[in-house]
Structure 1
Amino acid sequence: MAFKPLAFCTASVFALSLAGVAHAQDTTGADAAAASTTDSAEPTAPEIIVTGVRASLMGAQSIKKNSVNIVDSIVAEDIGKLPDNTVSDALQRVTGVQIQRAAGEASSVQIRGLSDVATLINGREAFTGTSRSVSLADIPAELVAGVDVYKTSTPDIVEGGVAGVVDVRLRRPFDFDGLTVAGGVRGIYSDQSDKKSYVASGLVSDRWETGIGEVGFLLAASYNRRKYQDQDAFNYVSNCVEDTADHCNTDAPYYGRSIPDTVGGIYSDGDRRRLGINSSLQWNPSADLSFHVDGMYTRYQNRYSNTFFIALPKGGTVTSTTGYDDYDFLSSGTTTTNAYTLTSKQAYEDQTDSYQINAGGEWTTGKAVFSSELTYNHSKLQNRNVIVDTSFNAPSMTIDNDNGGTPHISITGVDMTDPSNYTLRTLFDNHSVAVSEQWAWRGDMRLDIDGPFLKNIKIGTRYTHRTVDSQATTSSGIAITDAVTMDQLSSDAYTTSPTGLVKGATGIGQFLVMDTNYLLNNTDTIRELFGQADGARAYDPANAFSDVEDTYAFYGSFEYGFDIGSMPVTGVGGARVVNTVESLTGYDVSSDQNYLDILPSINAKVGLSDTLFLRLAWGKTLTRPQFADLNPLVSYSPSGATGDNGVYGSGSGGNPDLTPIRSTAYDASLEFYPSRSTSFTVGGYYRTIDGYIQTYSVEELGTDGNNYLVSRPRNTHNGYLAGAEVAYQQFFDFLPGAFSGLGVQLNGTYSDGKTDDPLNGGRQRIVNVSHWSYNAVAIYEKYGISARLAYNWRSSYVVSYNSGGDQAGTIMTDPTGQLDFSASYDVTPAFTLTFNATNITDRTYHDRFKGLNGDGVYSDTPRDTRTYDRTFEFGARFKF
């Protein structure tokens, strides 16, 4: 089915929803009954019904081919089946999209390395907590019909993503012909945590012809419980041990060498639950009038912990040090006697409740189409943590900071599983709540002209009112007054750690920490041990902030079309004008901003032939700062008496002076579609970026008179992002017999981004931007079998700058890749068995301190080593 480009541009109005319904009926999953494997140039070939992976890829290719924007898409293979386990995981297969992993999942999504991604649900702005985007991992993949990644914009798309826009399309009742019931369940085993988890989902949808017109209703739900474990071994920043004569003690055994403040490891365990419910009511009283009411609710709950082992090389008597061959001023290893050594249990309990309610309608009269909708978003984020540090004395401790990129720690002379050796030291007892709500209204009008050049014009307006309120306790340690050892506590108050940290590379065996559930379930008992009153601590007024933001937007656009000889040219041009009024207040701090932006854009698509297309796009974008980044408050964390650290502690805070990120984007692509399941595309892009926001650490004087290394977001200027993308997909139907089910997806991206250093001058790489990334996916689909083996790889990128210490201040990753597998077998047309495996090669992540330090001296030394769960999943889906 051919679609006007407009149907893919109008991301926030009911017109898109109806166009998307028709589109989904043609191209998504098992409902893609009209999809054919035949070449588009052969309309007389017999129609073949396709499902599964092939239908998914054909649907995504159809969206890309027919859109006026430069867009890449994911289409669900069937109800409840995206190609990967989560929306974020699935997006990593999209050309130019990279992800970062933490807590057992893809935790963030970047487009061409930039994390400033606007997220929409069915074309409507959505968010989680105080952020400006929705956590894509919180949207159950089982509820999703497809995901569109817009790399260029049109005036009617909501502003907000310098990197691009991700639109998650949920299912609606008019997507289906009639009564549809579907569901599925998966069991998951994670090897590093040695835990079992599960996912269950279901959908019911129907539509009826009634005396008041056609009515449809859909209800879908998903529940996901996932247990996971990440592991991390770390070297923290290195600082000198000072004496009265020298900045660095030059006497034996120090020899002027800087020693890491801490070396150790972390087991991060979680028990995460996600609930998602989606409902939709559609009503068409007549052929030219339609209404809808949609609702989406998500709940995220996570009880998780960090189990720390913290060796303090300077926390005793240093008897020897060794230096790196190339950087002798940095210690590569130490031996310490009577070493004060810490363990810590950080127990957390987080919950986020978010919902979106939307109501709207569309009326067609003559050549005019009017639409309007009202949306309410609400999100409440609650966090609680109880942290108890414990200590023991290590008679002898030897540390190799760089044992193949990972620290190795050897401790002798103490039984680390004896509770009588551990003393309770410090309590951190904190909680916070952040509530955000938004009302958004928009109205749109499209007038079809169908002239020789001008095809239609659109105008529209949008108003939003959003409030953000955040409160938190003061994150300061509470020292114990009377010494208590672990053996004085009940046996359920503490626990033994796992063993074999990061595949045994650290040498750390089992040790004792407080128990996660005991800390969270018996917090008053812990408070009493530290001389504190029962009950949660009061919020600190100095840690409260609120923000009120109103936006007023107007857009006008036109769709055009004409021929250059035998080549049709189509496109959309126009501008979006938006006024932002912001008022932020905090403790003794306030900030008011009022700024107007004009965001013109134009997209053009040239049909060089029936199968070859050229796209060109130009436009301006606006990305407002995250609300949390505007928070003027600072949280301080003293380091304690662990040797000379250079600063008293660390801190983090926001910056109320942040300004929006503004960009001018230039994009071009050449796309070849020889058949409905085969494509080859190549594209290039260039963006000027002004005001890009990155986090930097600077020494600041704290309220207690001590110096802290404080991290804050700051605007950078005169930046750019440039690169190229290439993608190819094909099914090899020409091969004989069973081999004709083979297919392949390949894509790669090159990116280069730099911006000004706001602290030291000069140019530096934009954080998170890998120069190279690629996906290689082998596919097989035949005889009811669908299988996909996918490898994702990205090159090194900058994690952060200005880390402090005498070693290099820049943290950079090593290149990393992951291999995943998914398969399904259709037992019957209504019943499918599934199997998935992730992280098959059991990858190891490394990052390093690499580059120049504050004195301009180069070094390259290890920082973190991380390992993750491999997961194996068995499941089943049904639909009738």
Structure 2
Amino acid sequence: MAKAVNSRFGRVLGVSFLLTTGAWHAAAIAQTTAASPTSTDQTTVEQTSIDAPVDAAGSEEIVVTGFRRSLQLANEKKRSADVVSDGISAEDIGKFPDQNLAESLQRITGVQITRSRGEGSSVSIRGLAPDFARTQYNGRTLGSGGSRSFDFTALSAEFVSAVEVAKSPSADMIEGGLAGTINVRTARPLDIGKSSFNGTVEGVYEDNPKKLSPRVAGLANYVNSSKTFGINVGVAYEQRKYLAVSYEGYGAETGVEAQRNPPIDYNRDGDFGDTYTFNHAQAYQAFPGSRKRFSVVGAVQYKPTDNVNVFADYFHSDFRDKGRWYENATRFTNIAPALPGQLYGVTASTIDTTLVPQLLSGSQGFVTAMTATGLDHRASTFSQDSRKILNSYAGGFDVTDGNMKVSGQASYFKSTTRSLNNGFATISRAIGTIRHPDGLGSPPQVTYGAGYDPLDPSTFFLLSQDFFGGRNSDRNYEGRLDAEYTIEDGFLKSLKAGLYYGDRRNTSVDTRSSANAATLARLSGGKLVFAPGVEGAVGAVRATNILKPISFDTKIPYYPASYLVTDLDAYYGIIPYATVIGAVPPRDVSGSGYDVGEQTMAAYVQAGFGSADGRLGGNLGVRFVNTQTVSNGLVPDLNGIIIEPGGVFTTVPTGVPTKVKGDYDYFLPSLNVKYELANDLLVRGALARVLGRPGLGSLSAGTSVNANVRSINSGNPSLQPYLSDQADLSLEYYLPKQGLLSAAVFYKHLTNYIINGQVTQTLTAQLRGGGTQTLVFRRNQPLNLASADIKGAEVAAQIPLAYLGGTFDGFGVFGSFTYIDAPKIPQFQGGPNIPLNGVSKYNYNVGGYFEKYGIGLRGSYTYRSEYSSGDGNYFGDGTFVPAYGQLDGSVSYQLTPAISLSADVTNLLDALQKTENSFGLARIQSQIGRRITAGVHFRF
């Protein structure tokens, strides 16, 4: 089947090529006057000058610096590219337009980002999820875990000279960027061209915690007098002290009254035979923490002649995210007596039956308001600590002999992530009410009944201390060899061929352990007294002396003025951390991890072509790719799972080892054509078949279980890659003075799209401490089940306002708009149709700048409409991110030719980040606050 489709696509590609080139040649012949293929804008560049001098002859030399220089460089790269592309360039080393690369990329037409703790972290291109965007570092693969996407929080922008986004492929590009390929470039020593030192010293002020942190960077570059040898080394350190204040709803859980433990009569009709949907839990949270990033880059380059270039470079990133997670949670899924014989149950409820068509599993309605006795109320603190270390090495050469050029490169990267967190199951049984005064799209209001004080620590008990974390290792060996022969005369301009080999391996495992109340009482030497019978057979210790109240200022609706959390200082004063973790050391969770190996071999041929007048150009090629996978995992006996009563952790018995192999190969043809219709007016077209591989974690042969949200997740080593047959057409008009107008349309026919096969499975779980509980789980496994047609249009503009007269000299505006039309498909087999993951229908950014007299001002507003994040499988109710807009700004001043001052503000309007489920129930509302960065940049 794959070969037949490939054959059909090849024939279509060939016919399209003939028709397209024929039509454009006819258009060229019809031209009555020949236009120069070069721009009429005679701009010269002097980065060290600010004002425009006049020479002796009286002609003005136009000098471009700062942000305008960045726009000019990006336009030059876009114009000369053989493929449909966009990008951002730095005016100088250490002067990238933004501190975070993802934040810069969102200003590129058709690019959207997602954020982590207020920082841009992952990037989407033309609406497709981040896993479809391939990220490269100086042309080689860069990874950061089991995901195909790259986490940009691990990458400092200090040493980046340009970021290029290729939206259409050519045969010589490494496959995998189904949405597009992002290439992060750093300058080699001889590219800088002189011995120099660039440095930055800044302070980063976070508005929420009102704390200041340092950010410093320096790059030393050495070039010998003959400019045949160069070496550079750069070091950067950044710290952020952030505070994220959030509301989180865990999603719409559907439950049969009789299957609650104990049974619960939600509608108070006297029986337990009804099925209702309710918010599994609602939690008000605060995340004070710090992020530290240490980066090192290095490069060596030797160019003894113009025909020989040998190079090597190194990239290191050490990113650590450490903090605490304070949580005040109520769980209406868990209503029970603290002690046998105590009152519990629902005393009042309001149920919305109009939502029944949108609910799952035969629900009779959604519980919009409820009052309960014996309500699970948590006063929790979690310590979080994760560290990601990434190392990337590469070496290569370029040798030219006459018309022949041979290039080679070998590289290696390894990314290792470790995390170890711990938290406390601290519970009270409350009299409480939940309601939604502002509708389901707003956080609910949780109040407590007479006789219960949520700030009284004497009502809380500690059930356990739980440790959880994991390890992920992602490594890749890569090599390529390319040869290109240039043809001086004729329509055929070049022939190019190459080979590629990649060997990637990703391993991941979860680690957990738990110290129950009896163990904690023993370790405390009697300072924590064990109380048997509390919370059933588990027992607990009274938490009176290990809780404290905290409060935060926030604009999140109904966030409590203050609430209790575990006081870690008081707790570890009773039981030292080393004592408790020594007693229950974290161990690997059976069946949770995976070990996936992937070997890729590719070969390509590509022909470059062009007309004699230089107006027509492009390339036509085909790439053959073979991929072999090996997946190792554990398949456990799920009837042996153990859960904590009222807790959130699951213990899975040791599984049976299993190994599964996979193998697939594809031909990937591509065509890129550009034609200059008139001076500075280009039209481009592209046709291609593109391949995108499943996430490495999706290829797992193992199985994991989460009893808290009733889910079983298995991988599928037999997954086939996503395929896209796609077409692009764009028009680009290059204006003088760094101006640009462009428009594009694109189409992708996506097949082999992966969604979750989902079935229900009933298991009998063992309760730690005795007894059993019957639970109904949703079992998920990724399958190639869907196809989709994605269509879209893009428009962009960069307009210097100097056209309006001298008064506006130095002013400019820029912006872009992207429209994406994507179908709705099920998120899981048999489920309702929802929008394709990651696709926002409307995306735009708009901004303006002023640069003159050494002063630089810039502001930009980015917006993307609602999209599905694809993270909704806990209860099958979906996760959607509502429309979000963010305003950022910057100001700079060139104090001397060698020293500049700058200040940047991120999220100037303090916008909230939100998610909700498929029928508008609030899932997350998070306030990160503004971030202000200010400092000095110098170069010598």
Query: Aligned partners of 1:338 and 1:543: how far apart in 2?
Result: 33
Structure 2 partner of 1:190: 206
Structure 2 partner of 1:118: 134
The reply to whether residue 70 of structure 1 matches residue 80 of structure 2 is: no
CA shift in 2, pair 1:442/1:657, >3 Å? same
- Render the CA deviation track for 1:159-199: whole Å, top value 9, x for unaligned: 11111000000121112231111111221221223332221
Query: Aligned partners of 1:83 and 1:400: how far apart in 2?
Result: 43
Aligned-pair CA distance for 1:325: 8.8
Amino acid at match of 2:319: Y
CA shift in 2, pair 1:339/1:581, >3 Å? closer
Aligned-pair CA distance for 1:79: 2.2
Structure 1 partner of 2:64: 50
Which of 620, 623, 634 matches 1:576? 623
Aligned-pair CA distance for 1:362: 1.5
Q: TM-score, normalised by structure 2?
A: 0.81
SS at match of 1:686: strand
Query: Aligned partners of 2:915 and 2:831: how far apart in 1?
Result: 25
The reply to whether residue 341 of structure 1 matches residue 377 of structure 2 is: yes
SS at match of 2:102: helix
The reply to whether residue 556 of structure 1 matches residue 592 of structure 2 is: no
SS at match of 2:75: helix
Query: Aligned partners of 2:225 and 2:499: how far apart in 1?
Result: 34
Amino acid at match of 1:876: V
Which of 151, 160, 167 matches 1:151? 167
Query: Aligned partners of 2:622 and 2:868: how far apart in 1?
Result: 35
Aligned ranges for residues 473-552 of structure 1 at < 5 Å?
A: 473-474=511-512, 482=530, 483-489=540-546, 495-500=548-553, 502-515=554-567, 525=576, 534=583, 536-552=585-601
Amino acid at match of 1:553: A
Q: TM-score, normalised by structure 1?
A: 0.87
Query: Aligned partners of 1:510 and 1:740: how far apart in 2?
Result: 54
- Render the CA deviation track for 1:416-455: whole Å, top value 9, x for unaligned: 4444332112332123222232221211111111221111
Amino acid at match of 2:615: P
CA shift in 2, pair 1:396/1:454, >3 Å? closer
Which of 175, 181, 188 matches 2:191? 175
CA shift in 2, pair 1:606/1:28, >3 Å? same
The reply to whether residue 877 of structure 1 matches residue 930 of structure 2 is: no
Aligned ranges for residues 718-757 of structure 1 at < 5 Å?
A: 718-737=787-806, 739-754=808-823, 756-757=825-826
Structure 2 partner of 1:794: 864
Structure 1 partner of 2:341: none
RMSD: 3.3
Query: Aligned partners of 2:88 and 2:583: how far apart in 1?
Result: 51
- Render the CA deviation track for 1:664-705: whole Å, top value 9, x for unaligned: 110010111122411110000001111233457653455847
Query: Aligned partners of 1:59 and 1:791: how far apart in 2?
Result: 22
Aligned-pair CA distance for 1:706: 3.6
Aligned-pair CA distance for 1:548: 2.3
- Render the CA deviation track for 1:715-763: whole Å, top value 9, x for unaligned: 3422122100000111111344553111001100001223653612785
Identify which range, 714-723 or 738-747, moves more after superposition.
Answer: 714-723
Identify which range, 469-478 or 728-737, moves more after superposition.
Answer: 469-478
Query: Aligned partners of 1:664 and 1:309: how far apart in 2?
Result: 49
CA shift in 2, pair 1:634/1:433, >3 Å? same
Which of 924, 927, 932 matches 1:867? 927
Structure 2 partner of 1:434: 472
SS at match of 2:591: helix
Aligned ranges for residues 740-779 of structure 1 at < 5 Å?
A: 740-754=809-823, 756-757=825-826, 759-760=829-830, 764-779=834-849
The reply to whether residue 444 of structure 1 matches residue 482 of structure 2 is: yes
The reply to whether residue 131 of structure 1 matches residue 147 of structure 2 is: yes
Structure 2 partner of 1:692: 753
CA shift in 2, pair 1:785/1:591, >3 Å? same
CA shift in 2, pair 1:779/1:711, >3 Å? farther
List gaps (5 residues or longer) in structure 2.
1-41, 336-343, 357-364, 520-529, 531-539, 635-656, 766-773
CA shift in 2, pair 1:453/1:398, >3 Å? closer
Aligned-pair CA distance for 1:544: 4.2
CA shift in 2, pair 1:34/1:800, >3 Å? same
Corresponding pairs, count: 821
Structure 2 partner of 1:781: 851
CA shift in 2, pair 1:243/1:708, >3 Å? closer
Query: Aligned partners of 2:392 and 2:588: how far apart in 1?
Result: 28
The reply to whether residue 392 of structure 1 matches residue 406 of structure 2 is: no
The reply to whether residue 267 of structure 1 matches residue 283 of structure 2 is: no
- Render the CA deviation track for 1:504-540: whole Å, top value 9, x for unaligned: 5124232222356888x899846866xx852632324
The reply to whether residue 311 of structure 1 matches residue 358 of structure 2 is: no
Amino acid at match of 2:393: I
Structure 2 partner of 1:95: 109
CA shift in 2, pair 1:461/1:106, >3 Å? same
- Render the CA deviation track for 1:40-79: whole Å, top value 9, x for unaligned: xxxx963322110100001111111111111100111332
Amino acid at match of 1:870: R
Amino acid at match of 2:618: G
Identity %: 28
Q: Contact 1:801/1:809 (CA < 8 Å) preserved in 2?
A: no
Structure 2 partner of 1:669: 730
Q: Contact 2:50/2:854 (CA < 8 Å) preserved in 1?
A: no
Structure 2 partner of 1:364: 400
Query: Aligned partners of 2:138 and 2:902: how far apart in 1?
Result: 28
Query: Aligned partners of 2:476 and 2:679: how far apart in 1?
Result: 45
Q: Contact 1:173/1:216 (CA < 8 Å) preserved in 2?
A: yes
Query: Aligned partners of 2:935 and 2:391: how far apart in 1?
Result: 29
CA shift in 2, pair 1:425/1:30, >3 Å? farther
Query: Aligned partners of 1:477 and 1:670: how far apart in 2?
Result: 64
Structure 2 partner of 1:830: 898
Q: Contact 1:696/1:801 (CA < 8 Å) preserved in 2?
A: no
CA shift in 2, pair 1:28/1:846, >3 Å? farther
Aligned-pair CA distance for 1:375: 0.9
Which of 221, 238, 242 matches 1:228? 242
Aligned-pair CA distance for 1:488: 4.3
Aligned-pair CA distance for 1:478: 5.2
Q: Contact 1:29/1:77 (CA < 8 Å) preserved in 2?
A: no
Identify which range, 230-239 or 659-668, moves more after superposition.
Answer: 230-239
- Render the CA deviation track for 1:783-832: whole Å, top value 9, x for unaligned: 11111110001111123376566xx8233332111111111111111111
Aligned-pair CA distance for 1:485: 2.5
Aligned ranges for residues 835-846 of structure 1 at < 5 Å?
A: 835-846=903-914
- Larger Cα-atom Rg: 2
Aligned-pair CA distance for 1:335: 2.3
Structure 1 partner of 2:268: 251
Amino acid at match of 2:143: F
The reply to whether residue 105 of structure 1 matches residue 105 of structure 2 is: no
CA shift in 2, pair 1:253/1:55, >3 Å? farther
- Render the CA deviation track for 1:234-269: whole Å, top value 9, x for unaligned: 333143562599997543699986432322222233
SS at match of 2:237: strand
SS at match of 2:744: strand
Query: Aligned partners of 1:268 and 1:830: how far apart in 2?
Result: 40
CA shift in 2, pair 1:518/1:593, >3 Å? farther
The reply to whether residue 407 of structure 1 matches residue 424 of structure 2 is: no
Query: Aligned partners of 2:88 and 2:259: how far apart in 1?
Result: 64
